[in-house]
Amino acid sequence: MANIVKEIKNPIDSEMKLFEQKFYESMSTNVPLLDKVTRFIVTTKGKQMRPMFVFLCAKLIGEVNEKTFRGASMIELIHTATLVHDDVVDESFKRRNFFSINALWKNKIAVLVGDFLLSKSVLLSTDNKDFDLLAVIARTIREMSEGELLQLEKARKLDITEEVYYEIIRKKTATLIAACCEIGVLSNNADEVLAKKMQNFGTLTGMAFQIKDDLFDYLSENFIGKPVGIDIQEQKMTLPLIYSLKNATEKDRKYHFQTIKRYKDDKKRVKELIAFVKKSGGLDYALSVMKDYQQKAKLILNEFPENEAKHSLNLMLDYVIERKF
């Protein structure tokens, strides 16, 4: 997997190295506490998959320029802000094997840091008059917030249908990857038709990405290092579970609903539910839906001329559904 990521980065290797500095600069502040927190954020960064999408989509139709770097920084600022806020909402004290911001500096500071990062993403666009990029990030922030609230609302009743699930993951996850791809081409003056096409490409990719994430909940703990059944314990209704319950007998449906509702911390009941989902074909169904999204994204990519960026984006689509974490 590490070799695939290295190959994906090949056409944008120098840009990704330069981006680290530019991203830190985009968070610059004269407030010592904020500066301390933002330094911590830079040192604990993840794979930076989203900036990679921005740069590769820019290179799909042209070259990476200063507007591309600004767009990638905007995306990473939004992404980081949502992670900081998510850790507060989820009361999570670890992020990528590091302590989270709220664990180190408490909730109040974490919320304000998240707000600061969102404001910097907006200022980065307005200060440089990138109003086309501003429209994209404003829509993205709105949709991500709507997705989170929709999931919270539905989780209370556990009445998430397949259609509602797709709407939640489109807004929560796919919309940010869609923004990456749209911003990448907009940084090279793409017209409205091309921008919309790349937004669609990003949405399809993001949908496949999230379904893969949801499948991890039913796989071996040793395989990915994530505890099995964590989504069930958090009462998240994901595609394998929704499909299995929809096609279950009334007796099985009632029994397993009770597991999610009242016995989510009972390891034996959770193990039974995971076995039920596997036996019911929930994993196979989710896999087929994920691959369908991937293939639709590849069809869009096929419309573009061959170049290194297109090759890397195809590899990225394979990585999205084959990754082990």
pLDDT of 78 > 70? The answer is: yes
As a whole number of angstroms, the distance between CA 204 and CA 320 comes to: 11
Beta-carbon contacts of 250 under 8 Å, excluding residues fewer than 6 positions away, are none
pLDDT of 60 > 90? The answer is: yes
- Residue range 250-273: average pLDDT? 84
pLDDT of 226 > 50? The answer is: no
Task: State the sign of the Cα–Cα–Cα–Cα dihedral 126, 129, 131, 134.
Answer: negative
pLDDT of 236 > 70? The answer is: yes
Phi, psi of 95 (to 5 degrees): -145, 115
Pair of tokens at residue 203: 């949405």
CB 186 within 8 A of CB 132: yes
- Residue range 238-252: average pLDDT? 91
Q: Give per-residue pLDDT as tens, 147-163.
A: 988 888 877 677 788 99
Higher-pLDDT residue of 109 and 320 is: 320
As a whole number of angstroms, the distance between CA 265 and CA 238 comes to: 18
Distances (CA, A) of 60 to 193, 262, 312: 15, 50, 10
**Which amino acid belongs to residue 27?**
M
Higher-pLDDT residue of 8 and 227 is: 8
pLDDT band at 3 (very low <50, low <70, confident <90, very high): confident
Low-confidence winner among 60-64, 185-189, 230-234, 312-316 (lowest mean pLDDT): 230-234
pLDDT of 225 > 50? The answer is: no
Q: Give per-residue pLDDT as tens, 265-293.
A: 788 888 888 889 999 999 999 999 999 99
Burial bucket for residue 278 (CB in 10 Å: 0-12, 13-18, 19+): middle
Q: Give per-residue pLDDT as tens, 84-107.
A: 767 666 666 555 556 667 666 667
Name the packing angle between helices 282-301 and 192-215 (round to 10°): 160
pLDDT of 10 > 70? The answer is: yes
pLDDT of 43 > 90? The answer is: no
Distances (CA, A) of 161 to 122, 242, 244, 267, 300: 35, 7, 12, 25, 28
Low-confidence winner among 98-102, 105-109, 166-170, 197-201 (lowest mean pLDDT): 98-102
Beta-carbon contacts of 188 under 8 Å, excluding residues fewer than 6 positions away, are 58, 61, 62, 63, 65, 68
Average confidence score pLDDT of the chain: 85
**Which amino acid belongs to residue 54?**
V
As a whole number of angstroms, the distance between CA 178 and CA 196 comes to: 9
Domains of the chain: 2-322 (1.10.600.10)
Supply the DSSP symbol for 237: -
Supply the DSSP symbol for 61: H
Give the pLDDT of residue 305.
Answer: 93
Give the pLDDT of residue 211.
Answer: 95
Q: Distance from CA of residue 268 to its chain's centroid?
A: 31
Cα diameter, the chain: 61
CB 78 within 8 A of CB 140: yes
As a whole number of angstroms, the distance between CA 15 and CA 285 comes to: 39
Pair of tokens at residue 172: 């929560």
As a whole number of angstroms, the distance between CA 271 and CA 229 comes to: 8
**98 sits in which H/E element:** strand 98-99
Low-confidence winner among 118-127, 212-221, 226-235, 290-299 (lowest mean pLDDT): 226-235
Supply the DSSP symbol for 171: I
Distances (CA, A) of 149 to 102, 168, 307, 308, 311: 21, 9, 40, 39, 37
The rounded percent of the chain whose pLDDT value lies above 70 is: 85
pLDDT of 172 > 80? The answer is: yes
pLDDT of 39 > 80? The answer is: no
**Which amino acid belongs to residue 234?**
E
pLDDT of 224 > 70? The answer is: no
Give the pLDDT of residue 123.
Answer: 92
Give the pLDDT of residue 223.
Answer: 41
